[in-house]
Amino acid sequence: MKIALAQLNYIIGDFEGNRLKILEAIARAGKEGSDLVVFSELSVCGYPPLDLLEREDFIAACNRVVGNIAESIEPGIGVLLGGPEFNTSDEGKLLYNSVFFIQGGKVQQVFRKTLLPTYDIFDEYRYFEPNREFRLLEFKGKQLAITICEDLWDEQPFESEFSRSRLYTTDPFDKLNQFNPHAIINLAASPFAHRKMEVKQSIFTGKATRYGLPVLYCNQVGAQTELIFEGGSLAINSQGEVIKRLAFFKEDFGVFDLEDLAGGKAALSENPIPDRIEMMANGLICGIRDYFGKLNFTSATLGLSGGIDSAVTLALAAEALGPDQMHVLLLPSQYSSGHSIDDSVQLARNLGVRYDILPIEELFNQFRDTLHPLFQALPEDIAEENIQARIRGTLLMALSNKFGNILLNTSNKSETAVGYGTLYGDMSGGLSVLGDVYKTDVYLLASYFNRHGEVIPEHILVKPPSAELRPDQKDSDSLPPYSDLDRILEAYIEKQLSPEKVVALGYDKSLVKKIIKLVNQNEYKRYQTPPILRISSKAFGVGRRLPLVARY
């Protein structure tokens, strides 16, 4: 039996576009001699559809697409297609997260997801009823265990110490294995996390090794708002060896002989997982490209400050959208250093990006004059610093409104975590590109872009970070070294360690207390930021929900 994996990039709710994409892949599978073609989880509507699943018309549209696809394909080929299914029982949630087996012009069998994740970005039990019946797909003499994403992740490791080694009380594949399947097929929508690529692969190779069965894993690819799906679908033989991995961050297609996978005859491919920073860069580029493309946006802007964050954001955006679709502003004040302007100009020229220089000193002085009756002789402080940031935000949004250039937010995760940013100023934007990237990794991304020659000027990489909102300002005036800050933040946010356990890692108690207080106090700021492209296991946004008003 030959099985095709169709790794596609869907648009949520684009039923006609998704239908045509699916039919094209089925036609290709038929031409390449496939018996069965596998798509990803909820492929009919795209994942995650969120509260669109609460609309009856949305589910009805999904069902119409499934029916149309069934009627449109050749009778000999089988299709495994993900989509929501009405629960016709009088009890439980209204829907199942299902896989439809289509063959001979109709749906022949339905398989339903058992394990419904309700952690991090997932909230599937909000919509779906869990499966409680287990059976195999019998097709062309083979018995196939059909699983949906989490159904093979019952033993996944968690970074937090405050978690169980087994999240679920049911192991769906143990139940399916009682029927002696010939292979495991997994339809997934598994989002990207830059430190989990090897872990993710080990889950599938571990299942193959443990049960002595081939595993075929079809993952969604592309970005849906802040979520990025890397694809990387897998064909694994019965010895747990990766025979083929489909492409990362782009659509791909592969056909695999089940007998070769089961007998260990398939040739091993030299296809290692790329370097973490390379994966991070490609993931962010995918996130920008799909956010713009799926919303029919074309061009972008940002404030190019001469700092590392705006430089890396520009490099990523120019790669994603094309340099001709970028128009950036340099907005120096009287506190901006000359080299910041020179570095920014050189970067824009290196990338071939249009730029304009709009000094803000005169506007800033007008604000100070207007506010003088209120502020009088009070010393300048954060109020005046924030005015500069908000002037810049206003000018950038004026460019956005006039010409349709979507403003990209350039704040990194370290700054966002501790509130080192100005609401309605440098925290403005339609999309946050680096909001899930710690400062130390921003520098590594800059080095990645310079791997073949200088793109980001060297001076940007070596000068001390500064917001340049007052004379001789440095980030180190307010924050510890980023090498320490980032490790403390990662321990507290990603690993969710208690303050005491963070201190036990070797950090000063008063420093840890200060940083954690800043993280907790600035939740209200993060609540008002644009969508943040998620590349870690715990990003700010939909996967980290905390009360704004609390004293913890």
Q: Please provide residue 437's backbone torsions phi and psi, each rounded to the nearest 5 degrees.
A: -120, 115
**3-class SS of residue 83:** strand
Q: How many Å apart are CA 212 and CA 481, to the nearest integer? A: 49
Angle between helices 308-321 and 439-449 (to 10 degrees): 50
- Token readout for 166 is 């087994």
| DSSP one-letter string for 278-328 | HHHHHHHHHHHHHHHHHTT---EE-B--SSHHHHHHHHHHHHHH-GGGBEE
Q: How many Å apart are CA 163 and CA 167, to the nearest integer? A: 8
3-state secondary structure 221-283: EEEECCEEEEECCEEECCCCCEEEECCECCCEEEEEEHHHHHHCCCCCCCCCCCCHHHHHHHH
Q: How many Å apart are CA 237 and CA 269, to the nearest integer? A: 12
Q: In terms of DSSP bridges, do strands 142-148 and 183-188 run parallel, antiparallel, or are they unpaired?
A: parallel
41 is catalytic: yes
Cα angle 155, 188, 227; round to 5? 100
31 is catalytic: no
CB 246 within 8 A of CB 229: no
Nearest CA-CA partner of 533 in 202, 249, 198: 249
**For residue 206, what are the CA distances in angstroms to 190, 239, 254?**
17, 9, 22
Give the count of beta carbons closer than 10 Å to the beta carbon of residue 301. Answer: 27
Q: How many Å apart are CA 398 and CA 292, to the nearest integer? A: 19
439 is catalytic: no
Nearest CA-CA partner of 288 in 456, 531, 46: 531
- Which residue among the candidates 21, 45, 113, 124 is catalytic per the annotation? 113
| DSSP one-letter string for 119-145 | STT--GGGTBPPP-----EEETTEEEE
- Which residue among the candidates 41, 159, 319, 468 is catalytic per the annotation? 41
Residue with tokens 């692969």: 201
| DSSP one-letter string for 24-64 | HHHHHHHHTT-SEEE--TTTTT-S--GGGGG-HHHHHHHHH
- Which residue among the candidates 45, 62, 149, 286 is catalytic per the annotation? 149
Q: How many Å apart are CA 22 and CA 38, to the nearest integer? A: 10
Q: Does the N-terminal peptide bond of residue 191 adopt cis geometry, omega within 30 degrees of 0? A: no
Q: Which residues pair with 248 in a beta bridge?
A: 231
Active site residues: 41, 113, 149
